[in-house]
Amino acid sequence: MTLSLKLIALATSLLLGSYAFAQSNTVDVLHWWTTGGTAAAAAKLKEAAKAAGVEWKDVAVAGNENQRTLLRTRVLKGDAPGAAQLVTDIAIYADQRDQLLSLNVIAKEQNWEKVLPPVINDYVKAWGRDYVAVPLNAHRLSVMFTNTKLLKQLGAKTPTNWEEFFAVADKAKAAGITPFAWGNRQVTTITFDQIAMSVLGPQNFKQAFNNGDEKILASKDMTKVFEHFRRLANYADKSQQTKPWVEGAQGVVQGKILFQIMGDWAKSEYVRAGMKINDDFTCTPVPGTAKSYQFIPDAFLFFKTKNDSSAAQLKLARALMDKSTQEAFNLVKGSVPARNDVDMSKFDECAKKSYSDFNAAGKAGTLVMFWGTQASAPRYAAMTDVVMEYFAKPEMTAEQGRAKLAAASKAN
């Protein structure tokens, strides 16, 4: 090698070395998993980051609203974290093209387009072109938990439609058993959404709630949704209306309440109490939703950082989407993997059935993401306000509720 070539090689080596030195191997990760099972699930992600040679700098904030506020503040100040947990905010940050980190190279390497259902694949893209977030899971919303022993005591079977549900609820009420676990705004709105999913079907549900379709919002089926919701609310213990879902789960565990409708994360309360699937409780689709699947995802959105950490961020993205990571994380979290090709042999019966339904719905086009991730914040707030008002005012008719919901859907 000539002297000049040696000098060029040396200069190149020094340049690459200084670039590697300038690159930060630390990724600030902002999330709200701070307690119990959520913190344990986050620990699995940290282990995966460490194995990938990435230093995970934990920025944990109690409460998702607090985390979102901090994220907005940091982004506005030009000090965005390397990765931030989210369930609804991709659209908010998608306008800031210069701040989001493209993960396309990792998505191509791991073939995300093939291993993710279309609805999730589209969700984690910005501008219809660049992957900017890593999806971790799907939390099924349309789950009905049932106290098996109470059901047997009533001589009843798990209901698969609303008329069967109301018949069993009447038996429970006559026997002095609270038929259904009620609760705060989260419980009330999730319950309403699942009734709407079952009555409208997945496609009309998306059109009505995600897109504000006036024809569907004005339909007889939407009136039926309000009628079913009112009837269901009449079985609830109104003293529970300010309580979180966990108290409803405890009522089912204690044998005081027969049914609970809640996301699959509620399963952790039953398992923690020592209850066994089938022997003590079951987790089945909400009546009328067996052929569809409504879910809410957890994902990490990746930002360009003040001190360049893109190499470490790409390593982290690769690790988070790895099948073994998604298996370990979801075994603890109680959800199912976002990817469609994970080995489920270590999961319990509820999760296996949920994952089977998740993949079937993905292929059939009946996989429906929680509409709060699609609607604007004002529209979501206005429509859920109507649901709460309808619950609080027994004198409001189903037609009035439907009309108010249609009007609220126009909020921007």
Q: What pLDDT is recorded for position 376?
A: 80
End-to-end C-alpha distance for the chain, whole angstroms: 68
How would residue 412 be classed by pLDDT, with cut points 50, 70 and 90? confident
Mean pLDDT, the chain, rounded, equals 91
Contacts of 209 (CB under 8 A, 6+ apart): 193, 196, 371, 374, 375, 383
Q: What pLDDT is recorded for position 237?
A: 82
Q: Above 80 in pLDDT, residue 18? A: no
Query: 26-139+297-364, superfamily in CATH?
Result: Periplasmic binding protein-like II (3.40.190.10)
Report the percentage of the chain scoring pLDDT > 70.
Answer: 93
Bigger pLDDT: 87 vs 115: 115
**What residue spans define the domains of the chain?**
26-139+297-364, 140-295+369-408
| Beta carbons of 107 and 113 less than 8 angstroms apart | yes
Q: What pLDDT is recorded for position 230?
A: 96
Averaged pLDDT for residues 191-206: 97
| Beta carbons of 338 and 131 less than 8 angstroms apart | no
What is the distance between the alpha carbons of residues 360 and 364, in angstroms, rounded to a whole number?
6
Q: Is the pTM of this model over 0.95?
A: no
What is the distance between the alpha carbons of residues 125 and 102, in angstroms, rounded to a whole number?
9
What is the distance between the alpha carbons of residues 252 and 281, in angstroms, rounded to a whole number?
9
Kindly indicate whether the domain formed by 140-295+369-408 is annotated with CATH number 3.30.110.30.
no
Model confidence over 316-369: pLDDT tens digits? 999 999 999 999 999 999 999 999 999 999 999 999 999 999 999 999 999 999
Angle between the N-to-C axes of helices 398-408 and 220-233, in degrees from 0 to 180, rounded to the nearest 10: 120
Task: Tell me if domain 26-139+297-364 and domain 140-295+369-408 are identical in fold.
Answer: yes
Model confidence over 54-83: pLDDT tens digits? 999 999 999 888 998 999 999 989 999 999
Cα Rg for the chain, rounded, in angstroms? 24
Bigger pLDDT: 134 vs 372: 134
- Which parts of 254-348 fold into alpha helices (H)? 267-272, 310-321, 323-333
What is the distance between the alpha carbons of residues 119 and 211, in angstroms, rounded to a whole number?
15
**CA dist list (Å): 217 to 209, 264, 384:** 8, 28, 14
Which secondary structure element, helix H or strand E, spans residue 382, and what is its range?
helix 377-392
Q: What pLDDT is recorded for position 12?
A: 42
Q: Above 50 in pLDDT, residue 5? A: no
Contacts of 181 (CB under 8 A, 6+ apart): 187, 236, 240, 245, 248, 249, 251, 252, 257, 259, 260, 261, 262
The full length of the chain comes to 412
Q: Above 60 in pLDDT, residue 15? A: no
Q: Above 50 in pLDDT, residue 85? A: yes
Q: What pLDDT is recorded for position 21?
A: 45
Q: Above 50 in pLDDT, residue 19? A: no
Averaged pLDDT for residues 291-300: 95
What is the distance between the alpha carbons of residues 215 and 221, in angstroms, rounded to a whole number?
11
